[in-house]
Structure 1
């Protein structure tokens, strides 16, 4: 038997940096064959060079449904049966209150964080059910649980991810396919805040000043742990914060 083709296969979206790149590396080190998908193909080439023959790179914008269909249809045989789907592609844009937010930013977050995640899951899930094996891991956020000023649509998209995860689990009852949602809190070592503030490095750096945030490796470790649970165990949701963070008190506006 060809042991290369019997290794489990993982598909990681948003794999060019941050959480996605760390998850791809961790899974490759643990013996998975990894389909690394992201918009920036030059970043993916670095992963392929690091793990030759073990990582298959595919340029992908999850907002393009036809590109998702083409990805699944054109996977090499050794990567064709996805055992683990990590829906990591996502972003936050802006921190303005809703009345001053850009509608284009809202649309891009909804299309990426919700529609892109749904489309990729829809493409992969039938094969998992047919083979009665697999694990869908969604990267949500504590913003889906705890509102904060300026979180508006970003938080709403992550609340969608949490509820979609739970509803997937309800639909998959009677199968061996597992579904989990990871909700990170304050996280550094990625481009999240740089993207949110549209390249303003000073604003991005201020988010982490004086803190010890979560790292991409922390989230990758969590993915490893989820996958390694016994086959009969499904972890529905994991909410993770660094010790420097806690849920905030409800705010009250007072007249002077």
Structure 2
């Protein structure tokens, strides 16, 4: 009987010790979980604040760029030199191409990538209105649906702006009717191709795309190099501009 009682006490002691150990362990785990929850809450707050700040930055950049465009437009009213006026107008279009990027980022859920079909469409509409060509030049778009980050969307937007602007200004003299076709395709192996062509008068016989003093041509070459792209200008029943580039989404993260 004594042995039974002794064994019972030992068992009860072990059970109590196990209970207390489990209680202490649960308390430690609860404390750790509370700390993790606090840190997660703090991190979520930081993420929200970061997104708000980025959105506000894009909003302010867009507003500042619009202000610059407005100042340039005001400046043209005091200029009599046609070349100077044209240079300012070209600068306005370049700034608008960048401003539209920041506007779309500010308005979208994502703060780092651009929906290319939407961006190209809106930039095209802006250029149509800027040059007042809706009744003379038809622009045909064929754009695949994909997103690109700022590192690629800004250079491509500026190249697009230069190419379309040149086609509008030079391909159809004397306000002739014409067609500009624009294609942006995701091919394969992370390769993308932008083609902008027109059915205008084509390039001059002595045109050298690699040694041309034009700011627009130099800008397109430089921007293509920024994204390791291959840039070509050719005569093909008009002028044809081709940009090939590689973008690997995994490497951009």
- TM-score category (smaller protein): under 0.3
| Higher Rg | 2
TM-score between both structures, scaled by the size of structure 2:
0.27
Higher relative contact order, chain-length normalized (CA < 8 Å, sep 6+)? 1
Larger % of helix: which?
2
TM-score by length of 1: 0.27
